[in-house]
Amino acid sequence: MKPVLLALLIAFLAFLPFNLMNSPEEGKVNLVKVNPEDFNPKPGREGGTIYFILNGDPKTLNPALAQETTSTAVIGDLFSGLTRLNLKTMKPEPDLAESWEVSEDGKVWTFHLRKDVRWSDGVPFTADDVVFTFNDVYYNDSIPSSTRDILTVKGRKIKVEKVDDYTVRFTLPEPFAPFLNALSADILPKHKLERYVREGTFNTAWNVNTDPKEIVGTGPWRIKEYVKGQRVVYERNPYYYRRDERGNRLPYITRRVGIIVSDPDTALLKFSNGEVDYIGLRPQDIQHIAKLRRKDIKVYDLGSTPSTTFLVFNQNPRAKIAKYKLRWFQNRVFRIAISHAIDREGICYLVYNGLAKPLYTPITEANRPYYDEKYYPTYEYDLKKARELLESIGFKDRDGDGILEDPEGHDLKFTLITNAGNKERETIGNIIKEDLRKIGIEVHFQPIDFNSLVARLTAPPYEWEAVIIGLTGSLDPHFGRNVWHSSGTLHMWNPQQKKPATEWEAEVDRLIDRGAVELNFKKRVDIYKKAFRIITEEQPMIFIATPKSLLAVYDRFENLFPTVWGWYEEERLFIKP
């Protein structure tokens, strides 16, 4: 399972032995904490089907265009990169590339490709596919791929050349610390997609109406059937190259069925009824699992999730919003006031059942050593202070109706959106709405369809005012470049800037670019921490909470090794005899 923002080198999370947690219903749930040192897959057996939840319909089946988890969750296991991240060692290892060499100056990398790889339609994989993927797709300015953001060094492209059918040379403008993990980016089939690039129609290629047989990858799975709003059925890629130590084909499981359920409560019910084999739990779901009193369910506590939930205001001058509201949102004091008006502690208990921590920064505890509670400023819940800050920049209740007005007489009102069906975000939105009302702000809270929300956030006319949304997070900060750099496609509050709109964004850009080329790990950590501190001080994204990552699984599998970053050697999962 690949995170949207990819991953790289950091120390792994601390893992502890079993413990018990009492639920309010007096049932007990074993929270299993795993130790990566114990991740030792054993030979398995072929066969069987695994059922799981997909949280929504994909927006696209094209990995170069996917920017939302509903899409990446569907297509992530269809593709492979030149490298892959080993979730036990937390180091990159070969995937489609079998080996590589690097020049003494760290700028020229030569990759030798596997000769036994075929696309899922049987066509051989070669260097042409690699060169096509980078030069014609990721580095194509007319294709809005967020992958391009992580494959540039200080904004400069990497030169990619074919040496022979199974050798590719990458020439970097300067040494690039996260390079090997950046090459986990999906490689695409030239024989299927080249014509779309030539015709200028790539941005509509492999859409949700495409025949699944046309979606060709080198990963362990291929899509057999997609029924909108119901399911995605996968079958093993018959040409997948990986085998176990006995020469048996991987993956062991021969069929997967993703059941599309956007409502988490309905998804939990399906798990409880045995319709799916595993499910990511919300902290409040622990009570429900306890009441089931099922001895055949294991619940894994994987630690703080790397994903972040936040409120962000639209600061984009190109956006279709009122100019006076744009001035509010661009004012740092306004954003700090809102941050003080958010009851993070209360949200952790009311929304996450106490299994969460308040969050003020762009990163969570999962991002050690970048996470440092004492280094980053915090914004305590203080409605009086929030009101005083607003008044300090000219907001007053001039007509006595309980709503503040700006100096020009505009009521302090805005629309806050989030994705409908996400109960946590809907509850958070309602809590924030009520607290802001107490300090004279009227919020129109409107949950909408997730794909519609993503379209508003990422494409003109950027017609939104404020949103509660989340990002998946990544192990290496560089793979969040598309969010933190002002030119990034997911620079939420003002994306794809031609030049930084503010001095602080310019400084963050410089730090993000420096961090990418700094090879000394300690210095690199310090660089990124400075960038994250600036973002925390400016609060362009008002971070709210980070819950624990919890996974419930029916105890019928062997080689199940979950981590907060995905499953280790997922292809080796098999069903117990």
Provide the b/e sequence for 235-262 (b: ≥16 CB within 10 Å).
ebbebbbbebeeeebbbbbeebbbbbbb
pLDDT above 70: residue 25? no
Q: Which residues pair with 249 in a beta bridge?
A: 243
Mean pLDDT across 192-206: 97
Q: Which residues pair with 471 in a beta bridge?
A: 308
Distance CA 457, CA 465 (A): 10
Of 206, 226, 249, the domain-final residue = 206
On whether residue 176 sits in a domain, the answer given is: yes
Residue labelled with tokens 């806050």: 416
pLDDT for 6: 30
Structure tokens at 461: 């006319």
User: What is the β-pairing status of strands 557-558 and 221-227?
Assistant: unpaired
Task: Kindly report the CATH number assigned to the domain that includes residue 498.
Answer: 3.10.105.10
What 3-state DSSP class applies to 424? helix
Of 158, 188, 206, the domain-final residue = 206
> Considering only CA atoms, which of 472, 473, 253 is closest in space to residue 367?
473
* Pair (191, 318) in one structural domain: no
For 491-533, the pLDDT digits (tens) are: 999 999 999 999 999 999 999 999 999 989 899 999 999 999 9
pLDDT for 3: 35
On whether residue 344 sits in a domain, the answer given is: yes
What confidence tier does 22 reach under pLDDT thresholds 50, 70, 90? very low
* Pair (354, 482) in one structural domain: yes
pTM equals 0.76
For 470-495, the pLDDT digits (tens) are: 988 888 899 899 999 999 989 999 99
* Pair (179, 317) in one structural domain: no
What confidence tier does 13 reach under pLDDT thresholds 50, 70, 90? very low
pLDDT for 2: 41
On whether residue 57 sits in a domain, the answer given is: no
For 390-427, the pLDDT digits (tens) are: 999 999 999 999 999 999 999 999 999 999 988 899 99
pLDDT for 365: 87
* Pair (312, 200) in one structural domain: no
Mean pLDDT across 373-387: 96
* H helix runs in 209-254, sequence order: none
pLDDT above 60: residue 175? yes
* Pair (323, 201) in one structural domain: no
With residue 310 as reference, give the H or E element that holds it. Answer: strand 308-313
Task: Kindly report the CATH number assigned to the domain that includes residue 83.
Answer: 3.90.76.10
Of 206, 224, 259, the domain-final residue = 206
Mean pLDDT across 300-318: 94
Structure tokens at 150: 């992580």
Which phi and psi angles does 356 have, rounded to 5°? -160, 165
* Pair (411, 542) in one structural domain: yes
The number of angstroms, rounded, from the C-alpha of 35 to the middle of its chain's C-alpha atoms is 24
533 touches 522 (CB < 8 A): no
Mean pLDDT across 68-87: 94
User: What is the β-pairing status of strands 541-554 and 466-471?
Assistant: unpaired
Q: Give the domain range for residue 463.
A: 308-547
What confidence tier does 19 reach under pLDDT thresholds 50, 70, 90? very low
Structure tokens at 188: 């695409």
* Pair (191, 331) in one structural domain: no
Q: How many residues does the chain have?
A: 577
pLDDT for 20: 20
On whether residue 252 sits in a domain, the answer given is: no
Is the pLDDT higher at 4 or at 406? Answer: 406
Is the pLDDT higher at 343 or at 354? Answer: 343
* Pair (354, 495) in one structural domain: yes
What confidence tier does 16 reach under pLDDT thresholds 50, 70, 90? very low
DSSP state of 282: P
- Tell me the average pLDDT of the chain: 92
What confidence tier does 174 reach under pLDDT thresholds 50, 70, 90? very high
Distance CA 4, CA 223 (A): 20
* H helix runs in 23-134, sequence order: 69-75, 127-131
How far is CA 49 from each of CA 236, 260, 274, 564, rounded to the nearest angstrom? 11, 16, 13, 24
Mean pLDDT across 561-577: 94
What confidence tier does 463 reach under pLDDT thresholds 50, 70, 90? very high
Phi-psi region of 293 (alpha: psi -120 to 50; beta: other; left: phi over 0): left
pLDDT for 253: 98
Mean pLDDT across 133-155: 92
Is the pLDDT higher at 520 or at 168? Answer: 168
* Pair (485, 346) in one structural domain: yes
* Pair (531, 386) in one structural domain: yes
pLDDT for 10: 23
For 213-252, the pLDDT digits (tens) are: 999 999 999 999 999 999 999 999 999 999 999 999 999 9
On whether residue 16 sits in a domain, the answer given is: no
For 273-285, the pLDDT digits (tens) are: 999 999 999 888 9
* Pair (371, 509) in one structural domain: yes
Domain count, the chain: 2
pLDDT for 368: 76
